[in-house]
Amino acid sequence: MSDFVRTLALVFALILAGPVGGGEDGGEQALIDEVTAALREQTGVEPDAVAVVDVLNRITVGLLEEGRHADAEPFARIALDHGERVLGAEHPDTLASVNNLAGLYYSQGRYGEAEPLLRRALEARERVLGPNHPDTLSSVNNLAGLYLTQGRYSEAEPLCYRGFVANERALGAEHPQTLKSAAILASLYYFQARFGEAEPLLRRTLEASERVLGHDNPDTLSSVNNLASLYLAQGRYGEAEPLLRRTFEASERVLGAEHPDTLSSVNNLAELYRTQDRNDEAESFYRRALETSTRVLGAEHPQTLQSANNLALLYTGLGRYAEAEPLYRRTLAARERVLGAEHPDTLQSANNLAGLYQDQGSYEKAERLYRQTLHVCERVLGVEHPHTLTSVNNLAGLYWAKGRYRDAELLLRRALGISERVLGEYHPNTIRVQGNLAPILVNQGRLAPALAELRVIDGRLRTFVGRQLDTTGSELVRRQWLVTESGLQDIVFTLALAHPDSAALPLAADILLRWKRLAGDEEAVIARLTRTSRDPRVMDLGGRLRQARSELSRLVNLPKPDPKVTAAELAELERLETELAGLSRRFRGQVAGRSVEWESVQAALPRGAALLELRAFKPVDFKTGKFGEDRWLAVLTSAQPAAETDTGSHAGKRSGKKKPKEPPTLRIFDLGPVSATTPLQADLTRLTREALCLNQLLAAPDPRPACADALDPAAPAKPEEVRARLAAVNQSADESARTLYRTLFGALDKTLAGFSILYLAPDGALDLMPFARLKLPDGRYWVERQSLRELGTGRDLLPLEAGGEAVGMIAMGGVDYERFPAAEAGVEATAVVGAPGRDAPAPLNERLRAERGSFKPLPQTGPEAAAVGRSFWDYFNRKARVLTGPEAAESSLSAITEPPLVLHLATHGFFLAARADGTDRPLTLAGLALAGANLGLTGKLGPGHQDGILYALEAQDLNLEGTRLVTLSACDTGRGALDRSEGVYGLVRAFQIAGAQAVLMSLWPLDDALAAEFMGDFYRRWLSAGPNSDPSDALRAARLGWIGDKADPRRQDPAYWAPFVLVERR
């Protein structure tokens, strides 16, 4: 709106606000007189009637563009009345007034009042201006848009085609009106589920709009929103999110927070969040959209009703039925009144209300409404429309709940065939329908066809989720996807446990291998790409990615991080990750796309070995479709028995003896509820820490040890009392370890005892379980009976593609936490500046300092690093690079160009229990303290702007491709953020992503001197066996040596040898 027109609008609004000249007609005349006077003053000539009507029309359009519908209506009416009176009913400016008033009614959802005006404008313009005049074609666009909104697709279609073709011919392909007609035609395709035709048209429209109108033009933003809506409908959520965010942010900035277009983008973003199970964010956005839309547009505006419907849908999914039902009822009644009983939105409301009835157990009410809705959908929308397919799926779900399995199957097979054809095999709705079909078949006792469906679903779901991982920016959302889509795994695991002799068991083993820690593999492959690619684009992205991670690690730990600055850096980081994932899809397919099968993992097992893959799962009740509480599942894969030597087939016949039956090489076990092991594991951890503290108290009673928080406040101080307490604590810890083993593995103890090597692939909280320390029924520690080797997943047994050759050793210890390394010429240590606009320095890592305090010196770790280095020289005849004091720095690690064979880091590890403000990335919560770390805690930066703290997020960017072992020998290096889909996110995961084949870490804080002793013992045993020897064998030998050491009771204490865990990858 021009300044002149805007000023007039403000003045004239005051005239219309009160009685002028007696009554409404007087007000109209006063307004017209003021317009006339204003034009006369501006132009210096007497304005004619055309000029007056033109100004009134321009004011109307300007107010409509600003979303001020109520303010626009009097101007629209006066413009039309005055135009009809002084210009005539078919004058072009009068017809513009007709069109504007119709547009106002359309924007207000008053479709019944808008239609006759739009028809009148179109017919008159065709008669007066001709069928191909731009104004006529504008009317064609407007009437087509109204029909689409009303769900009258067959009436809209010829108008859509006519408008698009004629506008392109008359005005050109990139004229704004042509772009609008292209958007309307694409909307027709969208509503008809012709997504393949809609997408290229929407892309073309968006690109041209950006070029011709600009990135923030409302029509451009509408094009962005339309493309995002298409992606949502196609289940391409990762691609939809950046578009929806762009629309929301730009609309809010350009149009204002209460503009209808902004409210539409708020609602769409909330819908995305709901589909991704980001329920808190969804509810916040839905509420905002509903409250603002009710106030600005009215309680019965279609946009308000859509927000109410969506919020009710969210409440239903969360089981908040009491909040959902009134919203559903109100929305359905209003839509029937405003849009009509057969409008698609009305049918959507009816479907949703029927679903609520079903969830509440009111099956008869639900069935009546489902049937009624389905009948109307078939007649109005057609049997292949997505809304119709939703109705079919919902009715089938009701039949499932009522036990009418055959009826449900018939409906689902019909829906599945159509969905595969219309939406595609990998669409989430197709997968959802097929996912419902499998349990229906199970309930009919038809296991084989159910498993066949589940195999197909597995492949389709991996493709779908792979696309989400490729295109979704947020790491949190990527992990949530894996949790959300875990229902398939739970179904297969439940079937395999119920039918262990069927094909369900190998399918369960395959699915467990394919899905467990999938995101971790994706990250590792992308990280490897950035280290090995020669593609300039990838190399550039990799460098920018490392910088962004380092900057995010800094920002999230400022004492008062600026949310906008942090959010912007996080968004940039996620954009870079998504772009890199897009570039590397072909490369990633070598790992993520392969269909791992359990037989290939079995073939990688050495003779006499087995893999015990553990997984938390939710058992499924196939009658109700409900999921139970978490339980532990174990899949045991044993190596194939050796082939027998042929000694002649007749020998067995002469003896008459039968060959003993071999046990199956693939078995599955339900290990019981997760809730049973959680308190036992917590008790063992607590008792172990108390034992360490008591030992430290005995060794140095004054000053009181730093770990004294593990003691009872009334802890005894006399040595004999401390020893008595220590004996009691150790006895209780042994009992906890014995109970833990019995609870988890007691039922399969005899089976496990038959293997010389047992690979353990834990899950969830079991990642932090000291398996070697658990007590067997015969009283031995588990590690004494057999070799225990930990993996992240059974896939880690498969050999990796050969990387570069790693040579040498880097050993860090004796870190000086008070000094940064020597600066290069011209580089000084600097204070950290906070968010832009702040003058005072802002301390870095304030949250870390508040939670943990400063890092204390570890005097024994310097000699430890030196001793490890000497061992490397003694056995490999190669000099190790030993870094101590201020040289044990971040910069020494980030500068690695040739990966070391061994990287030994003897320093403090840490884990922050709470997430940093403004980030959802767990790898910012764990890290290592290096040179100058305490300066970093006080807000200083050293050379290269490094703070002396290596966060896991930064560690994953180190070049460790081919590194045989990374050792993290000090405190708490095994901890991390626990995630249901991926296990523990922490330092171990980060170093594996960086390329390390094995990581040796500790599960709890350790005595400095004894940790150094154990490390020395481990390295001597490993390195003396040669470069190709297995560090796992050396770790077990060291443990057994300490267990059998009669000279030093502390060495026998599992608190000192059990925390070290080696997590391998081949």
Among residues 375, 365, 330, the alpha carbon closest in space to that of 349 is found at 330
Parse the chain into domains and list their residue ranges. 1-129, 609-640+663-796
Looking at per-residue pLDDT, the higher value among 1013 and 561 belongs to 1013
Q: With contact defined as beta carbons under 8 Å apart, do 85 and 125 qualify?
A: no
Task: Tell me the average pLDDT across 402-420.
Answer: 94
- Percentage of the chain beyond pLDDT 90 is 46
Q: What does the alpha-carbon distance between residue 498 and residue 514 come to, in Å, rounded to a whole number? A: 21
Mean pLDDT of 447-466: 89
In this structure, the chain runs to a length of 1066
Q: Summarize the chain as % helix, strand, coil (round to 5).
A: 60, 10, 30
Question: Using CA atoms, how far apart are residues 924 and 910, in angstroms rounded to an integer?
Answer: 11
Rg of the Cα atoms in the chain: 35
Q: What is the pLDDT of residues 93-114, one digit of tens each?
A: 999 999 899 988 888 788 888 9
Distance CA 1005, CA 990 (A): 20
pLDDT attached to residue 813:
93
SS3 annotation, 989-1044: HHHHHCCCCEEEEECCCCCHHHHHHHHHHHHHHHHHCCCCCCHHHHHHHHHHHHHC
Cα distances from 194 to residues 94, 135, 198, 307, in angstroms, run: 38, 29, 6, 25
Residues 292, 606: Cα–Cα separation, whole Å: 65
Per-residue pLDDT for 581 more than 80?
no
Give the HSE-up count for residue 636: Cα atoms under 13 Å, Cβ half-sphere. 24
Give domain 1-129's CATH superfamily: Tetratricopeptide repeat domain (1.25.40.10)
Backbone angles phi, psi at 667, to 5 degrees: -140, 160
* Token pair 């839509």: residue: 335
Find the mean pLDDT for residues 950-957: 84
Question: Mean pLDDT, to the nearest integer, of 850-862?
Answer: 82
Task: For residues 222 and 215, give the distance between their C-alpha atoms in angstroms, rounded to a whole number.
Answer: 11
Please enumerate in sequence order all residues whose Cβ is within 8 A of that of 664, keeping only pairs 6 or more positions apart, or say none: none
710-724 pLDDT per residue, tens:
556 555 567 787 888
Residue-level pLDDT at 711: 57
Residues 643-669, mean pLDDT to the nearest whole number: 59
Task: Please state the pTM of the whole predicted model.
Answer: 0.79
How does DSSP assign 137-201, residue by residue?
HHHHHHHHHHHHHTT-HHHHHHHHHHHHHHHHHHH-TTSHHHHHHHHHHHHHHHHTT-HHHHHHH
pLDDT score recorded for residue 144: 93
Chain CA centroid to CA 629, Å? 23
For residues 960-976, average pLDDT: 76
| Mean pLDDT confidence for 641-654 | 46
Quote the tokens at residue 410.
């018939």
pLDDT band at 18 (very low <50, low <70, confident <90, very high): very low
Q: What is the pLDDT of residue 250?
A: 93
Interatomic CA distance for residues 181 and 177, integer angstroms: 6
Q: What local confidence, expressed as pLDDT, does residue 436 receive?
A: 93
CA 942 to chain centre: 35
Quote the CA–CA distance of 949 and 855 in Å, as a whole number: 11
Residue of 579 and 642 predicted with greater confidence: 579
Work out the average pLDDT over 182-187: 92
* Dihedral over alpha carbons 922, 923, 926, 931 (to 10 degrees): -150
pLDDT above 60: residue 589: no
Q: Would you say residue 658 has pLDDT above 70?
A: no
**CB contact at 8 A, 636 and 669:** yes
pLDDT at 841 over 50: no
Residues 307-350: pLDDT tens digits? 999 999 999 989 899 999 999 999 999 999 988 898 889 999 99
Quick one: tokens of 166? Answer: 């004629």
CA distance to 4, 807, 848, per residue, from 914 (Å): 56, 38, 10
pLDDT at 585 over 70: no
> Residue 632, by phi and psi: left (phi above 0), alpha (psi -120 to 50) or beta?
beta
The Cα–Cα gap between 515 and 1054 comes to 34
pLDDT band at residue 473 using 50, 70 and 90 as cut-offs: low
Mean local confidence (pLDDT), 469-483? 60
pLDDT tens digits, one per residue of 157-169: 999 999 999 999 9
Residue 728 neighbours by CB under 8 Å, 6+ apart: none
Residues 6+ apart with CB under 8 A from 152: none
Enumerate the H helices of 381-517 as residue ranges.
386-402, 405-422, 428-443, 447-471, 475-484, 487-498, 504-515
> What mean pLDDT value characterizes the chain?
83
Which 3 state secondary structure label does DSSP give 405? helix
Maximum distance among all alpha carbons in the chain?
Answer: 126
The pLDDT confidence band at residue 14, using thresholds 50, 70 and 90, is: very low
pLDDT for the residue 973:
56
Q: Which residue has the higher pLDDT, 590 or 12?
A: 12
pLDDT level of residue 820 (50, 70, 90 thresholds): very high
Give mean pLDDT, residues 11-33: 56
- Provide the β-strand partners of residue 1063: 790, 999
